[in-house]
Structure 1
Amino acid sequence: MANGSRGSRQAAWEFFGAELKRRREDAGFSQSVLGARVFVSGGYIGQFEQAIRRPQLDVAQRIDEVLQTDGFFERLWRKLIKEQPFTDYFAHVAELERLATEICEFEPALVPGLLQTPEYARALYESSNPFVTDEYIEEQLRARMDRTLLLKDATRPLYWAILHETALCVPVGGPDTMADQLDHLLVMARERKALLQVLPFAAGAHTRMGKMMKLMEFDDAPPTVYTEGVSSGTLLDEPAVVKRVRASYDLLRAVALSPEASLALINSVSEDYRTCASTP
């Protein structure tokens, strides 16, 4: 994705924030008062106005109700989200990733998106979208690879990923692609850009059977948890829910292989793929 495209979208969200501030002040509301009426904190309203964070649809709708703006913020929200390279339910998550100080995630069957190579990601997109155009695949791939730049930035968040051993064993894209993907995991870990653990088959039943999750923490906002289903996603920041999910992630850490043993397993599986790829 071109930097110009990102800049244009950011400018559009800055317009959203400027309009929110103008109409809030015209209504005589402080950030705290408006936040209380739309069920978010005053700090969140300030972050919306500065285009630091982007409201979810239900918040935009409640802002329209409170400020009596006849659906202006909902319409603007829908237009801006439509221009995002991500699906509606994931666009806000992608923005929060950029703001997070720490990201912890678990994937039960795939390599997490932030750690995927282009070839691995392409194979996933092609297998799940057999009837779309090449242009669509390339657009999705650019968006995915743009996200991965987050872990290469000097201000990157602390990133901890737990992968189930299934993710190592399913040959997405074939032996060469898998070997390259697993080697990339090793590089990211050895360069201390990611802390990786593998949950082995031997661990048996565990607290997140078949369920991915992404925990994000921030300097100036409550932590959130994101989970995903079929063509849907849920982003939650209710403290009790986040606390329970954090506890389940801690249980996964306890039963997963150590980082050292995990890298040894990843390396071994990568070598097996290399051997398979070179065998006539």
Structure 2
Amino acid sequence: MGTARPTVERLQLGLALTRLRTAANRSQGEAAEAIGRTGGRLSQVENGKGGLGPDELSKLLDFYGVRGPERETILALGAAARRRAPRRAYVDNLPEPFQRLSELQAAAREINWYECGVIPGLVQSPDYVRAIMALSNSIYWDDSEQETSERIAYRQEHQRRVLEASDPKTISVVFTEDTLDHVIGGPSVMRGQVLHLLQLTERHPTLSIRIIPNTTVDNPALGGGLVVLDFPHATPVSFSAVLYGPYTFYDHREDIEPMQRLFRRVEELSLSREDSRALLVDRIKEGKG
């Protein structure tokens, strides 16, 4: 099996296997030997440029001690990665899709993120995250304080991994000004969120936070959200936010290019970094939060 195009499925499989190998405290060489492969071949798989046969993947998961639902998810992801039939988009119907989306973001070298009406997840303050998760409790999952707490912890750890990566990423975040008027968790949470955005711009030079003013005319992305990810050695991947249902990823040029153009357009409509910061400062001074 030669080097394959790094599709979304293969990227997700590779990132998941890297995470599991690290958690098992095994080297690439040890893992490759366990399934009768070379270290170079396993490296290709972990970089999203290849797959493993069903028996090889099962042996590897045995070697890592992976059992239960996670094992079933990885085996299903492996089957998706081996699929040869052409497809326009990849619909992630497997459990815990946010984990795979966050792993793609952590592996990307450039992240472009636009939202309308909600603060993008990477730059949400801890209290805003808690308020969002509290709203979702009993709607998107059974009423469970433990699950809510675990999701909050995972989101915050994901933010840290991406924003504080040893090799800083280029991150461009754009959102509409009305996002700041939609109160989540109360006025104090919103004020804290604005302060959090200001602090992030000071701490992370490669992070750009820009706002599209309420007075903007003809925003082509009203009512939606999108994420476009660029990788060092793989084709870009785009993701369109949904309120409910499976995550859909795009990695074909005919889909990626329009989404890249859309993001460039919302960047053009947004205030500069400096003027966006001034808008946030003014909201604090005016007590709007």
State the match for 2:174 in structure 1: 162
State the match for 1:141 in structure 2: 152
Q: Deviations over 1:101-124 (max 9, x none)?
A: 111100111111111111111101
115-124 or 222-231: bigger deviation: 222-231
Q: 1: CA distance between counterparts of 2:107 and 2:241?
A: 20
Counterparts in 2 of 1:81 and 1:122: CA distance versus 1, 3 Å: farther
Task: Name the structure where helix makes up a greater proportion of residues.
Answer: 1
Q: Does 1:11 align with 2:28?
A: no
Q: Does 1:79 align with 2:70?
A: yes
Q: 1: CA distance between counterparts of 2:281 and 2:29?
A: 47
State the match for 1:40 in structure 2: none
Q: CA RMSD in A?
A: 3.6
State the match for 1:236 in structure 2: 250
Q: Does 1:124 align with 2:132?
A: yes
Q: 2: CA distance between counterparts of 1:123 and 1:70?
A: 43
Q: Contact 1:212–1:227 (CA<8 Å) still a contact in 2? A: yes
Q: Contact 1:115–1:148 (CA<8 Å) still a contact in 2? A: yes
Q: Deviations over 1:216-260 (max 9, x none)?
A: 111111111111211321122112311111111111111111212
For residue 70 of structure 2, what is the amino acid of its counterpart?
K
Q: Does 1:262 align with 2:279?
A: no
- Picking from 238, 242, 256, the partner of 1:225 is 238
Q: Does 1:252 align with 2:262?
A: no
For residue 235 of structure 2, what is the amino acid of its counterpart?
P
Counterparts in 2 of 1:183 and 1:9: CA distance versus 1, 3 Å: farther
- When normalised by structure 2's length, the TM-score is 0.70
- Could you say what secondary structure the match of 1:139 adopts? helix
What are the equivalent positions in structure 2 for 1:1-280 lying under 5 Å apart?
10-11=22-23, 46-48=43-45, 51-52=46-47, 67=53, 69=55, 72=58, 79-80=70-71, 88-130=96-138, 132-149=143-160, 150-191=162-203, 192-229=205-242, 230-272=244-286, 275=287
Counterparts in 2 of 1:181 and 1:12: CA distance versus 1, 3 Å: same
Q: 1: CA distance between counterparts of 2:207 and 2:72?
A: 29
4+ residue segments displaced more than 3 Å: 6-26, 67-73, 75-78, 80-83
Q: Deviations over 1:55-85 (max 9, x none)?
A: 9xxx97xx5xxx4649948x979525869xx
Q: Contact 2:237–2:250 (CA<8 Å) still a contact in 1? A: yes
CA deviation after TM superposition for structure 1 residue 261, in Å: 1.5
For residue 124 of structure 1, what is the amino acid of its counterpart?
I
Number of aligned residue pairs:
241
- Could you say what secondary structure the match of 1:136 adopts? helix
CA deviation after TM superposition for structure 1 residue 52, in Å: 4.7
For residue 157 of structure 1, what is the amino acid of its counterpart?
K
For residue 103 of structure 1, what is the amino acid of its counterpart?
I
Q: 1: CA distance between counterparts of 2:21 and 2:247?
A: 22
Q: Contact 2:28–2:43 (CA<8 Å) still a contact in 1? A: no
Q: Deviations over 1:128-185 (max 9, x none)?
A: 2146222111101000100111212332311100011121111111111111111110
Q: Contact 1:12–1:80 (CA<8 Å) still a contact in 2? A: no
Percent identical residues: 20
Higher relative contact order (CA 8 A, sep 6+): 2
CA deviation after TM superposition for structure 1 residue 204, in Å: 3.4
- When normalised by structure 1's length, the TM-score is 0.72
For residue 277 of structure 2, what is the amino acid of its counterpart?
L
